[in-house]
């Protein structure tokens, strides 16, 4: 189930986009900066912890997600894109990771591994100098 993020929990600021744009680039602020404070949000505590543990360049040390959207020429499309990417990031940690239970290798797999090592060592032994 995707997490619902209320509109009042993130701030959207219009900024000037980078890159080429001709004469129009200096007059129009079409890019969007979205800021979302993880710790102050209404997300569940486990969601917050998993978000803060992510090694993502968009998450600052203070626990704020900063997303910049400037792909489209329209401010509305860039705003929608930034919100969509925020939801994707939050939804990526919605499902807790499966707990790994350590297992032991089977007897047959151990034998296969040892046989492979024996074969490999025989191949390598044949590469040596030929005794006359």
How far is residue 17's CA from residue 108's CA, in Å, rounded to a whole number? 61
Tell me the mean pLDDT in the region 19-38.
77
User: Looking at per-residue confidence, does 18 or 51 come out higher?
Assistant: 51
Q: pTM here?
A: 0.69
Q: What is the DSSP string of 4-51?
A: P--GGGEEEEEEPPPS--GGGGGT---EEEEEEESTTS-S-HHHHHHH
Residue among 34, 15, 16 at smallest CA distance from 79: 34
Q: What is the pLDDT of residue 97?
A: 86
Span 1-132: which CATH code? 3.30.160.20
pLDDT reading at 37 higher than 80:
yes
What is the DSSP secondary structure assignment for residue 114, as one 8-state letter? H
pLDDT reading at 20 higher than 90:
no
Give me the residue spans of the domains in the chain: 1-132
Q: What is the pLDDT of residue 17?
A: 77
Q: Please give the mean pLDDT across all residues of the chain.
A: 88
User: Looking at per-residue confidence, does 23 or 90 come out higher?
Assistant: 90
């Amino acid at each position: 189930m995707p997490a619902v993020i209320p509109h009042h929990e993130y701030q959207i600021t219009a900024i000037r986009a980078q890159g080429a744009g001709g004469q129009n680039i200096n007059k129009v602020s079409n890019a969007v900066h979205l800021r979302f404070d993880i710790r102050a949000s209404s997300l569940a505590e486990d969601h917050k912890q998993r978000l803060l543990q992510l090694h993502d360049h968009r998450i600052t040390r203070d626990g704020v997600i900063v997303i910049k959207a400037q792909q489209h020429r329209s401010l509305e499309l860039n705003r929608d894109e930034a919100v969509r990417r925020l939801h994707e990031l939050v939804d990526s940690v919605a499902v807790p990771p499966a707990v790994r239970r350590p297992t032991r290798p089977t007897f047959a797999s151990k034998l296969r591994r040892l046989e492979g090592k024996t074969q490999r060592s025989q191949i390598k032994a044949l590469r040596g100098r030929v005794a006359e």
